Structure 1
Amino acid sequence: MTILSSSGIAPDIQTMNLCFYGAGSMAEALVRGLLDRGLTEPTRISMMNRQNAERMRELNDRYGINGAVTGGDKETMLREADIVFLAMKPKDAADAIRGVRDLLHPGQLVVSLIAGMTIATLETLLEKPMPIARTMPNTSCTIGLGATGISFSSSATDAQRRLTDAMFQAVGLTAVVDEPMLETVTGLSGSGPAYIYYMMEAMIAAGAKLGLTEEAARELTIQTILGAAHMVKATGEDPAELRRKVTSPNGTTQAAIEVFAAFRFTEAVEAAIARASARAVEMGAEIERNAKS
């Protein structure tokens, strides 16, 4: 596995047409990140979904991208794309891909953002050999702090691998992993922001319950989470060591940690990530069944 931090832009992407099939929060996060960092121009990006014309107009107004409204728009955008991002919901993926596969051709790079869908299943659905990058980003791509796991099909060229890596590096950090590890990436970082938000919800609620205003509890919680993350990154120290440094014997932090331990906090986190990873496998199996039906 290689970990790469955000750096540089692949120069040839500026001349490429990018088409997003699916216009949900993850697709929007990636589009916003790519545009904010100057990786491409709005006129080079097209987006579509199954039926929601209002959503297309909203995205067009917000980013200046080309939102498909008619069936003819969709066909043209898919045929002319150099890179096709598959960002539909997993439950809709098999039927959606079957519906457009005749519009795609081997000269395109397919980038999948579909949780659980394996490269093998996607190849089955496409019914033609195409280079594929299977990815698992998270919504922090919106602000350039995303974490994305990437695996490639055997037909992806070195140039396509570099291009994919460059696109996702532009919106955060990438980890190129063997495909089976993408389910773990899904459980750890793909769903990970929600775990931190959940923790923040609890901290804010606790602060308010103990007498702080909700605004004060919120601001203190945000700064605490932000500062802790920056400490780990800036110092390079292990989180466990940083925790030990601020946990004085018989002090307030130790008292809190003992409560977490009593509620089996570590085991709960491990079980949650394992369950999310397992659910990604289950979703993949469901998609595979649909692909073969």
Structure 2
Amino acid sequence: MEKIGFIGAGSMAEAMIAGLIKGGVFQPEQIIVANHSNTERLQELSKKYRINTTHNKISLVKDVSIIVLAVKPKDIKSSLDGLQEYIHDQLIVSLLAGITIDTINSIIGRQTAVIRAMPNTSAAIAKSATAIAASENVTMSQINKCKALFEAIGICKIVDEGQLDAVTGLSGSGPAYVYFLVEAMEKAAVEVGLDMVVARELIAQTLLGASSMIASSEKSPYQLRKEVTSPNGTTEAGINILKEQDVEKALVSCIKRATERATELKDMFTEELVLSHSKLELNGQSK
């Protein structure tokens, strides 16, 4: 019986676990979760999903065919330390922003089957937009298996690893941009006299409807917008303000800057790893 193990027990790990069980991809007894010391969190997940939990990462790695790295990026080295000799044919799926496939292989000490994934927080309701990138050691069967994991919590697209920074800036951070927009819409709704509760429901349904139109229609967003925008009407009046305020430029700059920051963080993590290795080598030579 194939098993999947999660190293890290945070919100993204839980979102995936919930989606995998609900979608029938894995049964609860096929899922193992480990963290360093938070017993209360593991008990919570065990009770809620009836999955297996442990503090022993070695036993987890030896027992599963898929290892999901769901820790904080800064903890990648400490999370993998001590596991290197037990990683052989398992597929490693990393959810860590900024940690490259080369970095993971460097910590393990050899080339392994690694897939990097960039889901977003909408995974919690099985609506994630996820992109994955695979190392050369990953088989097509493993890619398809990984794709099925993320399709259980939304949609999944395959990209080159070099495109993952752009994915991070677009869909990884994307929910926050939408929430920012909703904050502004709520503020405007109150200022024009609407009840906040009513306004939130109207805004949520408006976004849901527009999103569904984009997903289901063959028309471009431009065409859909033009169909709503009658000459000299209310929509055109509002759109003209967005154009005057150069909102389009601001949104483009927003995504570009988030993408640049993803690249900066990736470079920072890589540099930190190189420095860490250099210190270890120097310490070894001095003994």
TM-score, length-normalised on structure 1? 0.89
Q: What does 1:177-192 correspond to in 2, within 5 Å?
A: 177-192=159-174
- The whole-number CA distance in structure 1 between the counterparts of 2:21 and 2:63 is 20
Q: Partner letter of residue 149 of structure 2?
A: M
Q: Secondary structure of the residue that 2:92 maps to in structure 1?
A: strand
Structure 1 residues 78, 51: closer, same or farther in 2, change over 3 A? same
Q: Partner letter of residue 230 of structure 2?
A: S
Give the drift of 1:57.
1.4
Give the drift of 1:103.
5.1
Match of 2:65 among 75, 82, 105: 82
Q: Is contact 1:90–1:117 with CA below 8 Å preserved after alignment?
A: yes
Query: 1:263 and 2:263 equivalent?
Result: no
Match of 1:151 among 117, 133, 145: 133
Q: Which residue of 2 aligns with 1:53?
A: 39
Structure 1 residue runs without a partner (length 5+):
1-14
Q: Secondary structure of the residue that 1:107 maps to in structure 2?
A: coil
Structure 1, residues 165-219: CA drift from partner, whole Å, max 9, x if none?
A: 1211222211111110111111111111121122112212221232111110110
Query: Runs of at least 4 residues of structure 1 off by over 6 A?
Result: none
How many aligned positions are there? 275
Q: Which residue of 2 aligns with 1:41?
A: 27
Query: 1:244 and 2:244 equivalent?
Result: no
Q: Is contact 1:94–1:290 with CA below 8 Å preserved after alignment?
A: no
Give the drift of 1:155.
0.7
Identical aligned residues as a percent: 40
Q: Which residue of 1 aligns with 2:267?
A: 285
**Which stretch shows the higher mean deviation, 84-93 or 58-67?**
58-67
- The whole-number CA distance in structure 2 between the counterparts of 1:174 and 1:154 is 19
Q: Is contact 1:35–1:42 with CA below 8 Å preserved after alignment?
A: yes
Q: Secondary structure of the residue that 2:83 maps to in structure 1?
A: helix
Give the drift of 1:284.
1.2
Structure 1, residues 43-76: CA drift from partner, whole Å, max 9, x if none?
A: 11111223222211111122112222x4xx3321
Structure 2 residue runs without a partner (length 5+):
277-287
Structure 1, residues 214-247: CA drift from partner, whole Å, max 9, x if none?
A: 1101100011000101111222211111011111
- The whole-number CA distance in structure 1 between the counterparts of 2:43 and 2:159 is 37
